[in-house]
Amino acid sequence: MTAFNMPDMDSEQFVLWQALLEKRTGLWLPESRKAFLIAALSRHMRDKEISDYNELYTKLASGAVSVLDWASLVDSLTVHETCFYRETPSLKVVTSYCRNRALEKFQSAPDKPQHFQIWSVGCSTGEEAYTLAIEMDKLNLGLKEACGKTVYFGVAGVDISYPSLAVAREGIYAARQLDFVPQVTKNVYFNRLADEHYQIKDNIRQRTCFIQSNILELNSKLKQEYDVIYCQNVLIYFKQDRKQKVVEQLATRLKPGGLLVLGHGEVTHFENHELTRVDNKHCLAYLRKDNT
């Protein structure tokens, strides 16, 4: 059986799959992506020697399919297109926030070490999390030189895809994936390997961790609060009401005074009394009220 001789999926079947995927993952597939769904399902049906959409649906809905098989199916329904330094304006907002926050804390508590915990939501194959870690390391070096102070930081990358996280943990990338990395940064933070590949250096990899999780599990995992939550190109997969709920949940995971960075244009008409919009026309970011 191949993807090319799969039967068409009628509207009733599509609605069932649409609802199941949203219930389990939050992903919402519009009618325009029906062919994409059929192609993804056909690969799994071929591997499992299943010839009917309803049979596969029943197995998934009843839990008769393994967690890894379910994760593999979800993985094939999401796009893992990312690269280093993808959203420069958003990165600048993060580094500016952390620099200003650190300087304020150094003044009020000069003997107290300053720590930043950053969460990369939907980190895919790790380029975003590593970019954040590199920029935080640059910030730390700048502060050391300017005022002799050190900031400590960690970046947690979270994604639903097991295959993507395996790539992220290894930290090896083809040269083309580093097209937007400044040459000086490439020289300092990457080791060149054979066959035009590069690997993130250990000092940056040690500042990152990668965790498998579903965005619907925000209330049950990653209980700690973060100084920065970075959520770019994730909410495009969700319906508007789901986007609102996810952002509300993310807001509760910010430390007082923390920064939430979202994809530009991904959320509209959003209001939360705990959040204040950052005045920046190039990216969408919010600050949580600082009650300290």
Q: Which helix (H) or strand (E) holds 284?
A: strand 284-288
pLDDT for res 260: 96
Q: Which helix (H) or strand (E) holds 55?
A: helix 53-62
Q: Where in the chain is the domain with CATH 1.10.155.10?
A: 3-76
Q: Would the CA dihedral through 74, 249, 281, 182 be positive or negative?
A: negative
2: tokens are 């191949």
Residue 1 has pLDDT above 50, yes or no: no
Q: Share the mean pLDDT of the chain.
A: 86
Strand partners, 209: 156
pLDDT for res 245: 85
Q: Where in the chain is the domain with CATH 3.40.50.150?
A: 88-288
- Do the bridges between strand 284-288 and strand 254-262 make them parallel or antiparallel, or are there none, so unpaired? antiparallel
pLDDT for res 72: 74
CATH of segment(s) 88-288: 3.40.50.150
Question: Could you give the C-alpha distances from 260 to 141, 143, 208, 267, 285, in angstroms and in order?
Answer: 24, 23, 19, 13, 6
Residue 81 has pLDDT above 80, yes or no: no
The answer regarding whether domain 3-76 maps to CATH 1.10.155.10 reads yes
pLDDT-based confidence at residue 2 (cuts at 50, 70, 90)? very low
Q: Which residue has the tokens 């098989």?
A: 69
User: Closest by alpha carbon to 50, among 6, 16, 19, 18?
Assistant: 6
pTM of the model: 0.86
